[in-house]
Structure 1
Amino acid sequence: MQTQQAFRINAAQPDKLKQFLPKPLIISTPVAGWNGFYFAYHRQSNYKLPETSPFQHIVTIYSKEFQAKLKINGHWQSKSYAATDVGIFPAHQISPAVQFEQDLGFIHIGIEPTMITRVAYESVDADVVEIVQQLQTHDPLIQQIGLTLKQEIETNGFDSYLYLESAANMLAVHLLKRYSTHKSIIREYTGGLPKHKLKEAIAYINDNLDQNLSLAEIAAVVQMSPHYFASLFKQSTGIAPHQYVTKCRVERAKYLLTQELSVIQVSQLVGFQSQSHFAKVFRKYIGVTPQIFKKAL
């Protein structure tokens, strides 16, 4: 499909959208992305996009029901969208021009094609993975993932990197299972991690609790794809990797709070960039804030 006439959208270069967006982005991930995952949120009214062709797979989630006009085969057509409708725009495919005539919030999640193939089982050929364009599809799970990501970023900023990356992997798996032309490329894994790999992963987590750990990084230690690793890790431990890391951070924080260290220092030593997020998570697990816990010692 030729894309010379379409505007190329790159999720890693959000500033280039300024020429089309009357209002600036409210939230956007760092330009480098999170291992092939990008997130953006903005609110607009009465604006139009030309034909576009994204470098990444783009999932668009809307904040409420609305009407829009799409230019399909040279003709403008009106479409009504429900609150749980979403759009899926595969990489390097042309998306039609669209005109919005009301105030609306937009969540855009960009996923690099390499992330999609990484989520699929290791032997899949990148050329085999094809996501089917959906100008309008009813998908409550995608809606929920998008809104959860937005809330998490608004509440905790980028302090929940591992959680956000896990949600992005969940979305990638869902796209492959439901919207790929090859529905059988996702393997089901059983039996948990081999004991030596589980030990290696746990050791790496505990040795790097002060770092902004990523799912891809931990999976690489045991030479597995993130999806493969996350599935088997949960079978072995009973909880997802991001939940396990949080549990380890809280346990390490409990010990460090007994030492001659301030709450701020402890927060940094267990990998929290935000002290308020640290206090929130600690209280959720322990029942009291770090300050109260330390005073009670």
Structure 2
Amino acid sequence: MHLPRSPIISSHYAGWNGISLEYHRQPAHEMPEYCIPYHTLSIGLGYRAKEFKVNGRVHKDFVAGNVGICPANQSLSTQAYGKAEFILLTVDPTKFAQTAYEAVNTEKLEIVSQIRGFDPLIYQMSLALKHELESNELDSQLYAESMATALSVHLLKRYSARKQVIKNYTGGLPQYKLREAVTYINEHLEQKLTLAEIADLLQMSPHYFATLFKQSTGLAPHQYITQCRIEQAKRLLTNRELTLIEICQQVGFQSQSHFTKVFRKYTATTPKVYRKLL
């Protein structure tokens, strides 16, 4: 997509899988017809002018919170009459198709386009992903992967051409599978763990695994992994021969500043102060 200005924030270098995010502030502009090979969601944050032309048709009264949806490989032309602040989310059709098959047992699904509407869940997801990218770019992959799955399920529920009955997974993971997942997580905290990797270990789909794991533990996989990393860091801090950067690396954080930020969130203090108080 050729916009006048580059995005202010982009997940391009963050290593996200199945989903991408760009945060834009663009002047008035006109874009000729283009085709994006991804399911694309435009989330409006602010508009100077409230009119847009899409495929030759003028749409008025755009306000913050509007969500537009363009299915993959659909041609689109746009003309913005004033400055606009927005987030672009793209979902890989392969990721979407995989989630669709897991959720409704079908491989052929059509997403309905939407030029302007309200969807509080997509709006909040986009802001959460933007915040995660701004705060924790190097450590945001697992969070983004989880959100890609959740967003795909939401698109299936609300924007399929035909109403879909989503499978209702209940009961949590069998105890032996939960133990296997927890053991694997704790033995690989220093690595970049992915939802697909853990699900594959248990011979389950990522969506199925994430749903049942949360039912069993009360936490989404990315939340549980972060909690395990902080608990392991607390144990390692008792060994004063280890430096803070060594501990940071051993519990899987890519930067010491992010490690300190997350540690403070979970313990109300920094690793350095926590060690002094031991």
Provide TM-score, normalisation by structure 1.
Answer: 0.87
Is residue 13 of structure 2 the alignment partner of residue 44 of structure 1? no
- 1:292 is matched with which residue? 273
- Alignment equivalent of 1:68, drawn from 51, 60, 64: 51
> Partner letter of residue 53 of structure 2?
L
- 1:100 is matched with which residue? 80
3-state secondary structure, aligned to 1:63: strand
- 2:94 is matched with which residue? 114
**Structure 1 residues 121 and 232: alpha-carbon distance in aligned structure 2, compared to 1, 3 A threshold:** farther
> Partner letter of residue 244 of structure 2?
V
> Partner letter of residue 77 of structure 1?
V
Is residue 30 of structure 2 the alignment partner of residue 30 of structure 1? no
CA distance in 2, matches of 1:245, 1:60: 30
Contact between 1:119 and 1:169, CA under 8 Å: does it hold in 2? Answer: yes
- Alignment equivalent of 1:252, drawn from 232, 252, 257: 232
- Unmatched runs of 5 consecutive residues or more in structure 2: none
Contact between 1:121 and 1:186, CA under 8 Å: does it hold in 2? Answer: no
Is residue 129 of structure 2 the alignment partner of residue 152 of structure 1? no
CA distance in 1, matches of 2:162, 2:59: 31
> Partner letter of residue 82 of structure 2?
Q
Contact between 1:85 and 1:139, CA under 8 Å: does it hold in 2? Answer: yes
- 1:90 is matched with which residue? 71
| The 10-residue stretch of structure 1 (52-61 or 77-86) with the greater mean CA deviation from structure 2 | 77-86
**Structure 1 residues 217 and 43: alpha-carbon distance in aligned structure 2, compared to 1, 3 A threshold:** same
Contact between 1:132 and 1:179, CA under 8 Å: does it hold in 2? Answer: yes
Provide TM-score, normalisation by structure 2.
Answer: 0.92
Deviating 4+ runs (over 3 angstroms): 30-33
CA distance in 2, matches of 1:212, 1:278: 14
**Structure 1 residues 121 and 22: alpha-carbon distance in aligned structure 2, compared to 1, 3 A threshold:** closer
- 1:273 is matched with which residue? 254
CA distance in 2, matches of 1:176, 1:158: 29
**Structure 1 residues 32 and 268: alpha-carbon distance in aligned structure 2, compared to 1, 3 A threshold:** closer
Q: Percent identity?
A: 51
Q: CA deviation at 1:92?
A: 1.4
Q: CA deviation at 1:45?
A: 0.3
Deviations for 1:29-68, whole angstroms, at most 9, x for unmatched residues? 2369533211112211011122222111011111124523
CA distance in 1, matches of 2:151, 2:26: 25
CA distance in 2, matches of 1:78, 1:159: 39
- Alignment equivalent of 1:224, drawn from 189, 204, 214: 204
- Unmatched runs of 5 consecutive residues or more in structure 1: 1-16
Deviations for 1:123-177, whole angstroms, at most 9, x for unmatched residues? 73322x1111111121111111111111111122231321222222221111110
Is residue 150 of structure 2 the alignment partner of residue 170 of structure 1? yes
Contact between 2:14 and 2:138, CA under 8 Å: does it hold in 1? Answer: no
Calculate the aligned-residue CA RMSD, in Å: 1.8
Q: CA deviation at 1:76?
A: 4.3
Contact between 2:7 and 2:24, CA under 8 Å: does it hold in 1? Answer: yes
**Structure 1 residues 32 and 242: alpha-carbon distance in aligned structure 2, compared to 1, 3 A threshold:** closer
Q: CA deviation at 1:78?
A: 3.9
3-state secondary structure, aligned to 2:168: coil
Q: CA deviation at 1:117?
A: 2.1
Contact between 2:232 and 2:251, CA under 8 Å: does it hold in 1? Answer: yes
> Partner letter of residue 4 of structure 2?
P
